[in-house]
C-alpha cells in the first residue's frame, strides 16, 4: 500500500480545476501531511486549458511526483496539450464525463465515467463540477474531508451561505459516488504545515534578512515577489518601488544600498540580461546588492511559464570585465528561504552583488514547510560608526573587505565611482592600481568560499555513482537515489547551493569518492557541465544527461540517466 | 550646525579642460550646498558618466559617480532608503536625455524628492564631441559630418511636460544666479530640475561662452510660474533662452505617497510583524 | 646594427608630442617602412599629459615594441605618469630641456640636453618644439626627411606658407643639432603603405562586406567606427543612425537586418552588457547581426582608455538562456579587417549574432598595412526569391540554416518572435518543440566550426612549449617566439581567431604536439584559460600567465612567462 | 494591386481572453492595411512584448513580435533599411511608456517615418495585472495593494511634447473610427502616434469597456490640429477623453534628413567608392 499519491485535475475556463487542487493541498497541509502542488496552463491568457497536480505524503517528499495515479478530465480536448508533459502511472484511474469518451491511447488505463456536471446540478451548485471531483478524490484517497470543508469555507468566505452549502452538498455527492478506493497510508501528524511557493519563501526571506528596500519590474515567473513585498514592506517601514524597467530597478537597489539599506530586486532571464552593466558597478564600487533571478525557458522571451536551468552562464559569467559576484541556487521551496537570507548575509558582509538563481518550478509550485525550519542567522554590514581622518573606503585588508560608511555618519564621506580607483575611491587609470584592486576584490571570493561552502549531499558513502546537479533538479535526483539505493544500488549526489564561488574542496572530495560521475541538468548547452569543467577535473567517463527545460525532470529519467539499476539487476 | 562652501571642497583636481563651464558649476554647487544648510555627511551626490558627471568627486559629500544614464534611478533609491538625506543628482545632457531619457521622464512624473542639475553643453564632451539630444539641428560634430539631422530637445520643456514640479534654467557663467537657483532647487519639495547651460570650450568652441551669454534673458517680470502654458511658452522663443525659475508648483511627492501607503498598510489593522505575515500561510485544520 | 627602432615623445598641452609622432609615422609609411604607433594620455580631458611611441622597421613587425631607444621629454613632470608603463631600452637616449634636469632614476640613461623651445624660437616658429624634436629624431635614426616634409605639408595645409616655412626651418635646425647617431638598417621598399587604426580597418571592412546599415552610440574606444561610418555610409547609399542608447542601437541593427540589410553596431564593454538581451532575440529569431566590441579595462566603467581582454566571458557566455552566437577576435589591425568581413559572412550565412572582440590596443594604434592584403570574399544571405506555399521560415535542415525571406518578397511573409516557436515561427511552449528548435539552432555551430576553423599558428613544429593566446596578445607573443627560437628554443603559438565555436580539432592537435603549454592573457580572472578548460583537456602542468590589462603585453614578459630560455641556456 | 482585409488575416488563433479589446484592434488593423493600400509583402509589423504585442502574429505581413520595450528602435531600423516598405509598430502602454519610454521620446523627436499604434488598457495585461504608466493614480492592482502612487501619463500629451508630427486617440470599441485613424496614421508623412483605448476585461474588469465608451468625446468642431497648445488642451480634460486627430503638422522626417545627408555626402565631389575611401589612408611619399 503506497505511502504517497499524486493526482491531476485538468479543465479549462470556468472548470475550476486549479481551485480543486488548491483546496486539496490546503486541506492536507492543514492536517500535517506533506504536499507538493504544481500547475500548468495553455497559451491562452485566461479561460484556456489549465491543470493542477497534487502529491500528498505522510513522509517528506522532494519532488512533484513522476506520474499521476488518478486523473480527472472535464474535457479530453483540454487534456491533449498536457499529455506529453503529464505522465500517468500504470493503472491510473481516469475519471471523465460519460459523454466525452477517452481517446484510444488512454484505453489501457482504468477509465471511469462520472457525470460531474449532472451531479453538480443535483447538488444545486451547477458550477461546482470541481468540488464534486474533489469529493471523489477525497473518497478514493481517503483525504481529510473536514479540513477540506474548512479550506472551502476560507476560500469561499465572500460567497453567501447558500452557495457554500450547495458546494458542501456537491462535495458529499462526490464522495458518495461509487469510485475505486486506493488505500493510502498515514494521515499526517495533525500539526498544520505552512503551504508556500518559492516566490513566497523568497519574499518572506527578504523580510527575515532585514531587507528594507525592494525595486522591481514585473516579469513571469518572478512577479509574485514584487507583489508580496509591495504589500509587506510598507507594513514594517520599508519601501517598495515598481520602476519603469529593470535598468532602473537594479539602479535603485544599488543606490539604496549605497545609502545604507539592505536592498533587493527580483526578475527573470530577460531582466537579468538588462541588469548586467549595473551589477558591474555593484562589484567594482563594492556596494552590496541582491538579485533574485527566477529562471524560465530561454533564450530571449523563450517559454516564460516553464522551468529551465539555462541562466547559469549569464549568472556566473555575465557582464563585461573581471567582475567578482556570488551566485547561489536553492534546491526547493524551503531552501529558497535559506539561500535568500544567505544572499543578503554574503552581500552585506562582502560588499558585492549576489544572484539567487531560483527557477519557475521552485518559484511557483506550492510546498509544505515546517514553520520551525524558517530560522536563519542574519549578518550586518561592517560599518565604522566614528571613522577618523585615516578612513579609507577601499582600504586594503586580508579578506578584501573594507569597512563601509553610510550617509549620515559624520566624517565618513567618500566619493566613489565605476572607474578603477585607489583605496580612497579616486579614479586611476594606472596598471598598478588596477592590478592591486582586482586582487583586493577577488580576495573576497576566497574568503566566501571558505566561509560559505554551501551544498547538499545525499545517498551512500563512497558511491558507485555520484550525481552532480543543482537547483530544482535536486528533488527528482533525491527521490531517484532513494529508489535506486533501496534496490541495492550505491548512489549519492552532490548539489552545490553556492555556484560561485564553488565549494571546490568539498566537491573534489565527493568526486574522488565516486566510482563514476553523472551530471544532470536542464540546459541544452550543458551549462552546468561546462561550468564545472572550467574549474575542476572531471573523470574522462563522466556521463552528462542534459536537455532543454519545459518539462520537469522526473525521478525515472534520473534513474535511466544513471544507468545503475541495469548493473545491479545484471 | 552649518557649513561653509569650503567645507564642501575635496582636494581632488578636476580633469576638466581649462575654461570648461563645469568649473563654475562646481563652484556654485559648493556655495549652494552651504547656502541650503546641507551637511556634508547628510548629503548624497549621484551622477552618471560624462565630463560633468565627474563633479561628485570634487564635492565633499557621500558621492557616487555611477553609470552612464543611471543617476536618477540611483538617486531615487538612495532617497527612499535615506529620506533624511539631501539627495542631488548631476550629469550631462547626453547622460540625462539620451541614454537616461526614460528615467528623466519617470522621475519627473513621480515627483521624486531630489534636485537634478543638468550641465548642458549641447555635446558629448567626454567621448570627444559627438552630437547629443540638445545639439542644435544642422551642427557639424564628430558624429554628424554632414550636420545633425535630429531636432534638439529643450530639457526644460520636456521636464515640464513629464511632470517635474520645479523647473529652472541657469548659465554656469552666472555663478551668483546659478547658486541661487541650486539653493532653491535643493529646498524645493519634490523633483526640482535645473538645466545649466555650461560651455564645452573644447568641442563647442571658445565662442560658446559668449554666445550663451548673448542669448540668455532673465525671466520676464510678472511671469506666472504656476502656469504650465506660460512656462512652456518660455521654452521655445527661437533666438533667446530664458534663465530663472520657469515653473514651480506644489504637489504630492513620491515620499508623500509612500508615507501615505505606509499609513494604509499599517492602518488596516493587519499583520505588521514577521510572525503575523507568516501565519497567513498556515492553513487552518 | 638594429633593424627596427622605437622612440617616444612625451609632452602636455600644446607641446604637440602626438603630432610629431603622427608625422614620423606617416613619413615612414610613405616610403614603405613598417610602422606601429601608439599613444597614451593622462586623465585630463584636454591639455593633459600625452605621449606618442613610434616603432619603425624595414621588415614586418607584430607589436608596438617593448622599449624605447630614444625618449624626448619636454617636461619630466609630464613623464612621471607614463614611467611605469613606458619601458626604456638599455642605453636609451633621453633628450630634454637644459633647464629641466632628468630625475635621478634616469641617470643611468644617455641624457642629452636640447634647448627645444629656444631652437624653435630661433626658427621663427615658437610653437614648433615638437618639429625641432622631429628633426633631431630624423637625424638620429636617419628617417626620410623629404617625406617628413610632405607629411608636414599635408598636415599643415590650412596654415599659411610663412608658418609652414618656419616649421621647415625648425625641422632643419633640429636635424642639424648635434645628437648621437643611431645607425638603422633598411629604408623600406619605397612603395607607400596604408597607415590605419584597427577601428578604421573595422569600419572599412564593413563597407567591404556590404554593410548598408550601422547604428551605434558613442563609447571609448570604439567611437571612431560610428564616426567613420557616419561619414562613409551616406556616400554609398547606406545609412547610419546615432541612437539614444545601446539598447536602441542593437535593436535598430536587428530590425534593419530583419528588413534585409547587412547591419552592424560597435561598442565597448558597458554597451555590450546592455545589448545582452537583444542578442538573444537575434539568436532565437535567427536574424543576422554583427556587434564589434572594442575591449577596455573593466569591470564597469573601469579604464576606458586602456586595453584588456576581460570581455571574453560576456561575449561567449553573456545573455540568459541557451543562446548560440559566434565570437571572433582579430590579432592586429589588418586582421581587424578580415575578422570583420568574416563576421558579416558568418552572420549572414548562418543567421545568428556574431561578436567581434577587438581591443583598445588594436583599435586605436596605427599600423602599416599592404593595400593588396585588404581582399576578402563576401558571402550573401540565403534568400528564397520566389517561395511557394510550403515555405517555412524555420524549416528543419541538416546544418540548421533555413532560407530567410526578406520584406518585399511576395509570398515570403512570416511572423516571428522571441518566444520559442515552431518551423513556421508560431509560438510554442511545448517541450518537444523547444528541444527540437534548440537542436536546430545549435547545429549551426557545428557547421560553422567545420567551415571557419580560424586561427593563426607560428613557431616551430612539435614545439617544446606551445603558447595559447588570443587577440592583441598575439603580437608580442609572435615577436617573443621569434626571439626565443633564434636563441635555439623550440616554441610555437596557437591563436584562435574564432573563439566560439572554438576550432577544437586543430587546437587539440596543436596541444598534443607540444611538450608544455603556456597560456597568456590580459585578464585577472584568467577568462581565456577557464574558457579553454571548459571545452578541452589541458595538460596538468599547463602554465598560465594572466594579469590585469592597463599596460600592454611585452615580448620580454612573454619570454619570462614561457621560462624556456633558462632551460636552453642551462 | 490592392488587397482586402481578409488577405491580411493569418489562421493563428489569438491567445487573448474572450472579450479583450485587442480583438477589435486586430480587426481594425486588417481593415486599415487594406484601406491604406498596403501589400502584405511590403508591410512590416513590429511589436514588443505584451498581450497587445502578440498582434503581429495575427496579421499576414512580415511580422516581428520582438522584445519588451524595443518595438520602436527595431521599427526604425527596419524602415531605414527598407524605406519602400510600410512599417507599423504596435504594442501596449507598458511596452511603450514604461520600459520603452526612451525610444518613444526619441522616435517622436526624430519624426521617424512609421506609424505607432499603442493599445492602452491602463494595465500590464500579460503579466497578470500590475500598474503601468497609464494606470489611474490610486487604483489598486496586483502590484499596488494600497493604491497606485504614481500620476498617470497621457500618452498623447507626451507624444506631442516629444515632437510627434501626428497624434490621435481612438477607442477599440469603435472599429470604424479606429480603422479610419489607422489608415490616416499609415498615410501620414512622419511619426504618427495613435493611442487606442483597449479594455482589458480580465484585469480592469468587465466594466472598463462601458466606462471608456462613456467618457470618450469626439474632437470638438473647429479644433486647430496644427496648434500644439490647442492639442495639449485636449489632452487634459479631467472627466472626458477626446478621440480623433489631436495634432497634425508637416515637418521633415528622419528619412527626409537622411536623404539630404546622402545628397551632401555625394555632393562634395568626394570619394564615393571603396577605393577612393581607402586612398585617404595612403600617405604620400
Ligand atoms: C553604457 C555606456 N555607453 C556609452 C558610454 C560612453 N560615454 C561616456 S560619457 C558619454 C556622453 C557624455 O555626454 P554628456 O552626458 O553630455 O556629458 P559631458 O561629457 O558632455 O559633460 C558617453 C556616450 C558609457 N560610458 N557607457
Ligand atoms: C525585459 C522584460 N521585462 C519584463 C517582461 C515581462 N513583461 C511581459 S509583458 C509586460 C507588460 C505588458 O503590459 P503592456 O505592455 O501594457 O501590454 P498588455 O499585456 O497590457 O497588452 C511585462 C512587464 C519582459 N517580457 N521582458
Ligand atoms: S571636453 Fe568639454 S565638457 Fe569636457 S571637460 Fe573639456 S570643455 Fe569641459
Ligand atoms: S489579460 Fe487583458 S489585455 Fe491580456 S488578453 Fe486578457 S483581456 Fe486582453
Ligand atoms: Mg554634454
Ligand atoms: Mg497594457
pLDDT at B284: 82
pLDDT of res. C133: 97
Place C568 in a pLDDT band, splitting at 50, 70 and 90: low
Contact B77 A281 (CB under 8 A): no
Residues A116-129 have a mean pLDDT of 95
Q: Is A525 helix (H, G, I), strand (E, B) or coil?
A: coil
**Alpha helix positions (H), A142-268:** 145-155, 161-176, 198-209, 223-232, 246-258
Residue C327's H or E segment, with its range, is strand C326-328
pLDDT score recorded for residue A570: 52
3-class DSSP state of A238: coil
Residue C318 preceded by cis peptide, ω within 30? no
Per-residue pLDDT of chain D (285 residues; tens, 9 = 90+): 799 999 999 999 999 999 999 999 999 999 999 999 999 999 999 999 999 999 999 999 999 999 999 999 999 999 999 999 999 999 999 999 999 999 999 999 999 999 999 999 999 999 999 999 999 999 999 999 999 999 999 999 999 999 999 999 999 999 999 999 999 999 999 999 999 999 999 999 999 999 999 999 999 999 999 999 999 999 977 789 999 999 999 999 999 999 999 999 998 666 678 889 999 999 986
Query: What are B32-88's pLDDT values in tens digits?
Result: 999 999 999 999 999 999 999 999 999 999 999 999 999 999 999 999 999 999 999
Which pLDDT score, from 0 to 100, does residue C2 have?
67
Q: Mean per-residue pLDDT for A60-75?
A: 95
Tell me the three cell numbers of residue A90. Answer: 500504470
B40 and chain D in contact, CB less than 8 A: no
Nearest CA in chain B to A32: B285
How many DSSP H helices and E strands does chain B contain?
10, 8
Can you tell me the distance from the alpha carbon of A308 to that of A547, in angstroms, rounded to the nearest whole number? 9
Selection from D185, D137, D243 nearest residue D35 by Cα: D185
CA nearest neighbour of C229 among B130, B137, D78:
B130
Alpha carbons within 13 angstroms on the beta-carbon side of residue C68 total 26
Per residue, what are the HEC states of C78-105?
A: HHHHHHCCCCEEEEEEEEECCCCCCCHH
Which cell is D155 given?
500618452
Ligand 5 being an ion, which residues bring their Cβ within 5 A of it?
Answer: B 92-93, 121
Cβ of residue C193 closer than 8 Å to a chain A Cβ = no
pLDDT at D268: 64
Q: What Cα–Cα distance (Å) separates residue A473 from each residue in A299, A476, A517, A523, D17?
A: 20, 6, 16, 11, 34
Q: A387: helix, coil or strand?
A: coil
ipTM given for this complex: 0.98
Please answer whether residues A291 and A252 qualify as being in contact, where contact means their C-beta atoms are separated by less than 8 angstroms: no
Please give the Cα distance from C518 to C515 (Å, whole number). Answer: 10
Average pLDDT along chain B: 96
Q: At what angle do helices B155-162 and D155-162 cross, to 10 degrees?
A: 180
Q: Which chain A residues are within 8 Å of C313, Cβ to Cβ? A: 317-318
Q: If we measure between CA atoms, which residue out of D96, D284, B266, D98 comes closest to residue A246?
A: D98
The arithmetic mean of pLDDT across residues B202-222, rounded, is 94
Count of Cβ atoms closer than 10 Å to residue C374 Cβ: 20
Q: State in Å: Cα C354 to ligand 2 middle.
A: 28
How far apart CA C331 and CA C470 sit, in angstroms, is 7
Decide: A434 and C549 in contact? Cβ < 8 Å.
yes
Q: Which of D158, D161, D254 sits opposite B149 (nearest CB)?
A: D254
Task: Check residue C189 and give its pLDDT.
Answer: 77
Cell numbers at residue A380, please? 550586518
Per-residue model confidence (pLDDT) at position B102: 98
How large is the average pLDDT for residues A496-521? Answer: 98
Q: List strands edge to edge, sheet with C239-242.
A: C239-242, C213-216, C263-267, C289-295, C353-359, C326-328, C498-500
Of B103, B273, B283, Cβ closest to residue A248: B103
- B69 torsion bin: left (phi>0), alpha (psi -120 to 50), beta (else): left
Average pLDDT over residues A401-422: 98
Cross-strand pairs, A456: A495
Rg (CA), chain D: 20
Please, which residues have CB within 8 angstroms of residue A105's CB and are 6 or more apart in sequence?
A: none
Give whole-number Cα distances, A484 to A57, A61, A492, A564, in Å.
Answer: 19, 16, 10, 8
Beta strands in C143-276 (DSSP E): 194-197, 213-216, 239-242, 263-267
Q: Is the pLDDT of residue A569 over 60?
A: no
Residue range C360-385: mean pLDDT, rounded: 96
Rounded to whole angstroms, how far apart are CA atoms A67 and B213?
Answer: 79
Angle between helices A116-123 and A129-141 (to 10 degrees): 100
Check pLDDT > 60 for residue A1: no
Q: What are phi and psi of A210, to 5 degrees?
A: 95, 20
Q: Is the alpha carbon torsion for D58, D64, D65, D71 positive or negative?
A: negative
Distance CA C184, CA A359 (A): 66
Place of cell 584636454: C46
pLDDT mean over A32-51:
92
The pLDDT value recorded for residue C464 is 96
Q: What's the C224 CA to ligand 5 centre distance in angstroms?
A: 18
Beta strand A353-359 with A415-417 is unpaired
Q: How far is C336 from chain D (nearest CA, A)?
A: 15
For residue C319, the chain A residues in CB contact (below 8 A) are 273, 299, 314, 318
d(C-alpha B285, C-alpha B193), whole Å: 57
Sign of the torsion formed by the C-alpha atoms of A231, A233, A238 and A239: negative
- Mean pLDDT over each residue of chain C, to the nearest integer: 95
The arithmetic mean of pLDDT across residues C253-277, rounded, is 98
Global confidence as pTM: 0.98
Percent of chain A with pLDDT over 70: 99
What stretch of H or E contains C202?
helix C198-209
How do strand C326-328 and strand C498-500 relate by DSSP bridges? antiparallel
pLDDT band at C82 (very low <50, low <70, confident <90, very high): very high
pLDDT tens digits, residue range A324-346?
999 999 999 999 999 999 999 99
In A309-394, where does DSSP find H-type helix? Answer: 312-317, 333-350, 360-364
Whole-angstrom Cα distance, residue B58 to residue B12? Answer: 6
The mean of the pLDDT values for chain A is 95
Please give the Cα distance from A27 to A21 (Å, whole number).
10
* Structure confidence by residue, pLDDT tens digits, B216-258: 999 999 999 999 999 999 997 778 999 999 999 999 999 999 9
Confidence at residue C47, expressed as pLDDT on a 0 to 100 scale: 85
DSSP state, residue A431: H
Percent of chain D with pLDDT over 90: 93
**Residues C42/C8, Cβ–Cβ less than 8 Å:** no
Judge contact between C21 and C35, C-beta under 8 A: no
DSSP 3-state of C331: coil
pLDDT at C185: 79
The predicted-structure confidence for C459-515, as pLDDT tens digits, reads as follows 999 999 999 999 999 999 999 999 999 999 999 999 999 999 999 999 999 999 999
Q: Is C527 on the interface with A (CB under 8 A)?
A: yes
**Nearest by CB to A417, which of C284, C298, C301?**
C301
How many Cβ contacts (< 8 angstroms) between chains A and C?
A: 237
Q: Residue B83 carries which DSSP code?
A: T
As for ligand 3, residues whose beta carbon falls within 6 Å of it are: B 16-17, 20, 22, 51, 121, 125-126, 200-203; C 45-46
In terms of CA atoms, which chain B residue is nearest residue D69? B102
Query: Could you tell me which residues come within 8 angstroms of residue A225 by beta carbon, excluding any fewer than 6 positions away?
Result: A199, A202, A203, A206, A214, A216, A266, A292, A294
Expressed in angstroms and rounded, the spacing between residue A274 Cα and the centre of ligand 5 is 25
**What's the mean pLDDT in A168-172?**
97
Q: Does A276 contact C at CB distance below 8 Å?
A: yes
**Does position B154 have pLDDT exceeding 60, yes or no?**
yes
Question: Any alpha helices (H) in A17-144, and if so which ranges?
Answer: 17-30, 76-83, 116-123, 129-141
> What residues of chain B lie within 8 A of the CB of C47, using their CB?
17-18
- pLDDT tens-digit series, residues C293-351: 999 999 999 999 999 999 999 999 999 999 999 999 999 999 999 999 999 999 999 99
What lies within 8 Å, CB to CB, of C167 at 6+ separation is C123, C125, C128, C131, C152, C156
Amino acid at each position: 500500500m503506497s505511502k504517497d499519491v499524486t493526482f491531476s485535475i485538468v479543465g479549462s475556463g470556468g472548470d475550476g480545476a486549479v481551485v480543486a487542487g488548491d483546496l486539496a493541498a490546503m486541506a492536507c497541509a492543514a492536517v500535517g501531511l506533506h504536499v507538493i502542488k504544481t500547475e500548468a496552463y495553455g497559451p491562452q491568457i485566461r479561460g484556456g486549458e489549465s491543470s493542477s497536480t497534487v502529491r500528498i505524503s505522510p513522509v517528506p517528499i522532494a519532488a512533484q511526483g513522476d506520474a499521476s495515479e488518478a486523473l480527472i478530465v472535464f474535457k479530453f480536448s483540454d487534456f491533449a496539450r498536457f499529455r506529453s508533459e503529464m505522465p500517468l502511472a500504470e493503472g491510473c484511474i481516469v475519471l471523465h464525463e460519460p459523454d466525452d469518451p477517452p481517446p484510444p491511447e488512454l484505453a489501457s488505463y482504468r477509465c471511469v465515467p462520472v457525470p460531474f456536471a449532472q451531479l453538480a446540478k443535483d447538488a444545486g451548485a451547477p458550477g461546482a463540477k470541481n468540488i464534486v471531483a474533489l469529493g471523489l478524490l477525497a473518497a478514493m484517497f481517503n483525504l481529510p474531508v473536514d479540513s477540506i470543508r474548512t479550506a472551502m469555507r476560507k476560500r469561499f468566505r465572500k460567497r453567501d451561505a447558500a452557495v457554500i452549502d450547495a458546494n458542501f452538498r456537491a462535495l458529499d455527492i462526490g464522495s458518495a459516488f461509487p469510485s475505486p478506493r486506493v488505500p493510502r497510508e498515514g494521515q499526517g501528524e495533525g500539526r498544520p504545515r505552512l503551504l508556500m511557493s518559492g516566490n513566497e519563501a523568497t519574499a518572506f526571506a527578504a523580510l527575515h534578512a532585514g531587507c528594507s528596500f525592494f525595486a522591481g519590474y514585473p516579469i513571469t515567473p518572478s512577479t509574485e515577489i514584487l507583489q508580496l513585498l509591495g504589500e509587506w514592506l510598507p507594513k514594517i517601514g520599508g519601501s517598495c518601488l515598481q520602476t519603469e524597467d529593470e535598468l532602473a530597478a537594479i539602479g535603485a537597489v544599488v543606490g539604496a544600498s549605497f545609502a545604507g539599506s539592505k536592498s533587493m530586486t527580483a526578475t527573470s532571464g530577460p531582466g537579468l540580461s538588462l541588469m548586467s552593466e549595473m551589477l558591474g558597478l555593484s562589484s567594482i564600487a563594492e556596494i552590496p546588492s541582491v538579485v533574485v533571478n527566477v529562471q524560465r525557458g530561454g533564450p530571449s522571451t523563450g517559454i516564460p511559464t516553464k522551468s529551465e536551468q539555462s541562466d547559469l552562464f549569464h549568472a556566473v559569467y555575465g557582464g563585461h570585465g573581471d567582475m567578482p559576484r556570488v551566485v547561489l541556487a536553492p534546491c526547493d521551496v524551503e531552501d529558497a528561504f535559506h539561500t535568500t537570507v544567505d544572499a543578503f548575509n554574503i552581500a552585506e558582509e562582502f560588499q558585492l552583488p549576489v544572484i539567487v538563481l531560483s527557477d519557475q518550478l521552485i518559484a511557483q509550485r506550492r510546498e509544505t514547510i515546517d514553520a520551525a525550519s524558517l530560522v536563519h542567522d542574519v549578518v550586518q554590514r561592517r560599518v565604522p560608526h566614528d571613522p577618523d581622518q585615516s578612513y579609507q573606503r577601499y582600504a586594503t585588508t586580508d579578506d578584501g573587505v573594507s569597512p563601509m560608511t553610510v550617509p549620515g555618519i559624520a566624517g565618513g564621506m567618500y566619493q566613489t565611482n565605476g572607474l578603477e580607483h585607489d583605496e580612497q575611491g579616486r579614479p586611476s587609470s594606472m596598471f598598478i592600481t588596477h592590478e592591486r584592486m582586482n586582487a583586493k576584490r577577488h580576495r573576497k571570493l576566497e574568503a566566501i568560499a571558505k566561509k560559505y561552502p554551501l551544498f547538499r549531499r545525499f545517498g551512500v558513502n563512497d558511491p558507485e555513482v555520484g550525481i552532480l546537479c543543482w537547483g530544482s533538479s535536486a528533488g527528482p535526483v533525491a527521490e531517484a537515489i532513494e529508489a535506486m539505493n533501496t534496490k541495492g544500488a550505491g548512489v549519492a549526489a552532490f548539489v552545490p547551493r553556492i555556484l560561485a564561488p564553488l565549494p571546490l574542496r568539498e566537491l573534489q572530495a565527493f568526486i574522488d569518492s565516486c566510482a563514476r560521475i553523472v551530471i544532470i541538468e536542464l540546459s541544452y548547452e550543458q551549462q552546468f557541465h561546462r561550468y564545472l569543467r572550467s574549474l575542476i577535473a572531471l573523470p574522462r567517463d563522466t556521463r552528462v544527461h542534459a536537455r532543454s527545460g519545459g518539462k520537469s525532470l522526473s525521478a525515472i529519467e534520473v534513474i535511466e540517466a544513471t544507468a545503475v539499476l541495469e548493473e545491479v539487476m545484471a | 550646525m552649518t557649513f561653509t562652501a569650503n567645507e564642501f571642497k575635496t582636494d581632488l583636481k578636476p580633469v576638466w579642460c581649462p575654461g570648461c563651464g563645469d568649473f563654475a558649476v562646481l563652484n556654485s554647487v559648493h556655495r549652494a550646498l552651504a547656502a541650503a544648510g546641507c551637511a556634508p555627511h547628510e548629503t548624497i551626490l549621484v551622477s552618471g558618466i560624462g565630463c560633468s558627471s565627474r563633479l561628485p568627486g570634487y564635492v565633499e559629500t557621500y558621492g557616487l559617480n555611477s553609470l552612464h544614464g543611471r543617476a536618477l534611478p540611483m538617486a531615487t533609491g538612495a532617497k527612499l532608503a535615506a529620506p533624511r538625506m539631501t539627495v542631488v543628482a548631476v550629469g550631462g545632457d547626453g547622460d540625462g536625455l539620451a541614454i537616461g531619457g526614460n528615467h528623466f521622464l519617470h522621475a519627473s512624473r513621480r515627483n521624486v524628492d531630489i534636485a537634478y542639475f543638468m550641465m548642458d553643453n549641447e555635446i558629448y564632451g567626454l567621448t570627444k564631441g559627438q552630437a547629443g539630444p540638445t545639439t542644435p539641428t544642422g551642427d557639424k560634430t564628430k558624429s554628424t559630418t554632414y550636420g545633425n539631422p535630429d531636432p534638439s530637445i529643450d530639457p526644460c520643456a520636456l521636464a515640464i511636460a513629464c511632470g517635474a514640479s520645479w523647473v529652472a534654467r541657469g548659465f554656469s557663467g552666472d555663478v551668483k544666479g546659478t547658486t541661487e537657483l541650486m539653493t532653491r532647487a535643493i529646498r524645493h519639495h519634490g523633483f526640482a530640475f535645473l538645466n545649466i547651460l555650461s560651455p564645452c570650450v573644447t568641442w563647442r568652441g571658445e565662442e560658446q561662452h559668449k554666445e550663451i551669454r548673448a542669448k540668455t534673458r532673465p525671466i520676464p517680470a510678472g511671469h506666472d510660474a504656476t502656469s504650465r502654458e506660460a512656462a512652456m511658452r518660455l521654452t521655445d522663443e527661437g533666438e533667446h533662452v530664458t534663465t530663472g525659475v520657469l515653473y514651480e508648483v506644489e504637489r504630492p511627492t513620491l515620499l508623500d505617497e509612500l508615507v501615505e501607503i505606509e499609513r494604509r498598510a499599517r492602518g488596516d489593522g493587519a499583520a505588521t510583524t514577521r510572525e503575523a505575515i507568516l501565519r497567513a500561510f498556515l492553513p487552518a485544520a
